[in-house]
Structure 1
């Protein structure tokens, strides 16, 4: 099952969260080390589910956990309007869930150039946000494999919801290569297989240059030929050869055809397999009233795909090296 009701675990999860340090950012490495210890104590049914997803994934490319402990609306602070979060902000329940669930999967990672190298990100609407930013709201955030252009690309993107948008219109769209690949002919698969295509990078990784061009090389299909990884970004992938353009277009159409929407509500945690999916977000309308949509995001690396060369700790911050 892709979305799992966790309300039956709520009492146990609340008790685990209460054993975490109250101020996570005061000593983040220590906080995540403690989260790793508690992750081993997750209820058996939930822990096994996470272990199985970590080992082999699933056809949809994501796992949703619903009904996790979440702060009551009247106990939440206003939705943030700036980043990063204050160092002294007390732990929120959905951050606790991201910590414990994330540590069951792997190691939380910060990216030096992104959000000042912070590990826990607040995701909220912001006026006049760049169209490639997660802070957009009233335009579609296009399909992208998170940091597909980064040598240390995260294996998982975790999104947890403290507040939904007012109309509950916003949907995270997920498209899985395991579902899309049968829709791509062998000819086009062969064209895209293990072939680095020119790719631009997100604004945070451009080194202050307005547009440095396609400084990375991203392989749309790679890994195990029978169960490939996906590297895809609708805005940034920039093939120049007409045959590459055509092949990427076929892949893009296949991904559209298998897209599944996930609407996050408070208490939801979404785990995206970032090596086998691409994701997007549909538009919504903020009210700028302190109660707009508020998600929390972390990136998790595991040994899969060579993303942990050795000696890492949860909470480490890495620097940008483009794929080539």
Structure 2
């Protein structure tokens, strides 16, 4: 079964996408801000037809879990060195053209949104190694990043996660596992479909909130979700075309539920067995269906000299297979 589709842009297609992004920049302003996405659909017709076709396939296919596009125009020299922290990239507009290309592709699939708890709600975010976070399970660490559904703890998590490679000299792979890879016995699947698991918020939400909004209601809500999570199922939806939800570092079985713990170990083992490596290099876009696939990252050794791996990230709300998504839009979302 083909679960990852490929789209290699010709020089003409890459130029056309870049021109569409430049037109959107001129009309809409910075992709870092919510206002960029208001009326952005007026620019969709400028996206080359082959790319629109590939994006529709991802959105409509019952089996596709990711789309890998190569050949997008990226100028690492103009973008500047890889920042040493996400804070350093908040107001840097040198990558606006690259961000606009990613924003166009992402917006074709649904409504772009951002959590105010991550990178101050910037709509296009920076994934890069940060020295003080090198051991963390986050986009700023450099240890192996374990399997996770993006924001798997939240009912309004994104439907699609879109990544653009600005720099990846070391070809550090993004890892990908899909719901179609799960060779599980029926009894284990039955357990995984029951609300016998807890998924706590990624600690990055709490760390960033505690740093800049220590007295906020959002931080209190995030802490409550961490301390008292609601039980959830890890497989859900149509039994013949199920959806998957997991965040390995933050997922546990209910206390004392040995059967659920066994099922949790089995599903992570199956994802490990079928792991795919996808290098998101310079000019590559990887769009992951966040309801059918999980992702991670291989460990790497950063240099912190401006040449490290640097990706751009966008979250996209869209119609989930089941249950329906709710509460997403083109402005920052609250926890």
TM-score (norm 1): 0.88
State whether residues 235 and 244 of structure 2, in contact with CA within 8 Å, keep that contact through their aligned partners in structure 1. Answer: yes
1:107-148 Cα shifts (integer Å, max 9, x gaps): 1111122222221101110012152221011x1011111111
1:165-244 map, 5 Å: 166-168=169-171, 170-180=172-182, 183-206=183-206, 207=219, 212-213=226-227, 215-239=229-253, 240=255, 241-244=257-260
Q: 2:156 aligns with which of 133, 138, 152?
A: 152
Scaled by the length of structure 2, the TM-score of the pair is: 0.85
Give me the whole-angstrom Cα distance separating, in 1, the residues matched to 2:86 and 2:44: 28
* Equivalences for residues 85-164 of structure 1 within 5 A: 85-87=89-91, 89-129=93-133, 131-137=136-142, 139-164=143-168
2:209 equivalent in structure 1: none
Equivalent residues, number: 310
Does the CA contact (< 8 Å) of 2:131 and 2:304 recur in 1? no
- Matched-pair contact (CA < 8 Å) for 2:85–2:129: no
Q: Helix, strand or coil: the match of 2:306?
A: coil
Q: Greater helix share, 1 or 2? A: 2
Structure-2 separation of matches of 1:26 and 1:68: 17
SS in 1 for 2:261: helix
Q: For structure 1, which segment, 107-116 or 204-213, has the greater mean C-alpha deviation from structure 2 after superposition?
A: 204-213
1:7 positional shift: 2.7
Q: Deviations over 1:26-77 (max 9, x none)?
A: 8823322353221233211210110121122534x21100011111x33221
| Structure 2 counterpart of 1:83, from 80, 83, 86 | 86
CA distance in 1, matches of 2:188, 2:128: 38
Structure 1 residues 140 and 86: CA distance shift in structure 2, 3 A: closer
How large is the RMSD of aligned CA atoms in angstroms? 2.3
> How big is the shift at 1:246?
0.5
